[in-house]
Amino acid sequence: MKVQPAVGPTEAIERPALSWRSRFAAWRWRHRQPVVAYAILTPMLIYFVVFTWIPIVVLAIFSLTEWNVVQWPPTFVGLANYVQIFTDPYYHKVTAVTLTIGMITLVLNMTVGLGIALLLNERIKARGVYRTIWYLPVVISGAVMAQTLSIFLYPGQSGVFNSLIGLVGLKPVIWTQSTFWMPFWVILFSVWRGVGSVVIFFLAGLQSIDPVLYEAARVDGADRRQTFRHVTIPQLAPITLFVFITQCVGCLQIWEAPLVFTFGGPDNSTRTMVYSLYSDAFGNLTMGLATAQSVILLIVLMLLSAMNLRVFRVKY
């Protein structure tokens, strides 16, 4: 009988060559989880690139041009649009109005929303009805609500608010010409419009807190204020971060109320940046200035979001 020689440690073992189908099947089996993940994510990634990143790039390009929407091609002007925005007193006032109205709306939305969420988290009757009532303004069209408010603010004696104050002997107020009352109504409208979503998010966060933490705090002798400070607030940190960032984005993009019932007046006291870029783009046909404002607003919102993420990451 012929004995086959033993294969040495340095000698290669010959294996049959695999077909490309077999190699592909083996590769697919080894990477089955990433393949499934990318198969699910690819349509969303394509959508995100086509409808987000490409428009941002096109927006940045148009911000360096002067274009009236009618003539083509646009005229390249470099950074002239940005220089005008940073030097023109009109845009300084628009920025100040945007920050003032946005920050006041943000603070009221956060504080009022958290307070209402704490109340709706208690065991009260008809909690579902109250939650629905607070959330209804979020799903109703903002333009319709702003148009309704403009009817209430009609400056004549037949206006709803003027009729009410007339019952107590006060003179009618010309609301649309008051630089105090019109920003006040814009802020009130924005809070009424946006506080419902804040309530829902905070309510979800409150209901996700483990009741054992509250029981442990009561055993240690903590009162309601101490429990709220040392248990509720830290546990709500992720929800607070999400709500704060989304509200920053929303409050700095207020434009429905100025568009429908204030038209940016009186004396540009309600002319926010989004309404200003809308007017520049479709009213004055200065698309370059409008897109430059959009780029600046985008950068500001990105910086605010990054700062908030940094602060919350360090603190919590």
pLDDT value at residue 24 = 74
Top pLDDT among 115 and 22 is at 115
Predicted pLDDT of residue 5: 54
271 contacts 63 by C-beta, under 8 angstroms: no
Q: Rounded to whole angstroms, how far apart are CA atoms 119 and 134?
A: 12
What's the rounded mean pLDDT across residues 9-31? 67
Residue 153 has pLDDT above 90, yes or no: no
Domains parsed from the chain with CATH numbers:
101-138+179-315 (1.10.3720.10)
Residue 105 in this model has a pLDDT that exceeds 90:
yes
Q: How does residue 4 score in pLDDT terms, banded at 50, 70 and 90?
A: low
Tell me the CA end-to-end span of the chain in Å, nearest whole number. 78
Q: What pLDDT digit, counting tens, does each position of 251-293 carry?
A: 888 888 888 888 887 888 889 999 998 888 888 888 989 999 9
Res. 97 pLDDT band, cuts 50 70 90: very high
Comparing 203 with 25, which gets the higher pLDDT? 203
Q: How far is CA 315 from CA 209, 237, 264, 308, in A?
A: 19, 9, 39, 11
In this prediction, residues 58-84 reach a mean pLDDT of: 88
Distance between CA atoms of 95 and 273, rounded to whole angstroms?
A: 6
Query: Quick count: other Cβ atoms within 10 Å of Cβ 286?
Result: 20
| Mean pLDDT, rounded, for 118-145 | 83
Instruction: Determine the average pLDDT of the residues in 112-134.
Output: 85
Cα 105 versus chain centre, distance? 13
Q: Is the pLDDT of residue 1 over 60?
A: no
The angle subtended at Cα 185 by Cα 303 and Cα 178, nearest 5°, is: 110
Instruction: Please list the alpha-helical segments (H only) found in the chain.
Output: 20-30, 32-48, 54-62, 80-87, 89-120, 127-139, 142-152, 160-166, 181-207, 211-219, 224-227, 233-235, 237-251, 256-257, 273-282, 287-315
pLDDT value of position 128 = 79
pLDDT at 10 over 60: no
Mean pLDDT calculated for residue range 8-30? 66
* Six-digit token string for 104: 């006041």
15 or 288, which is more confident: 288
- pLDDT for res 2: 52
Query: For the chain, what percent of residues have pLDDT higher than 90?
Result: 18
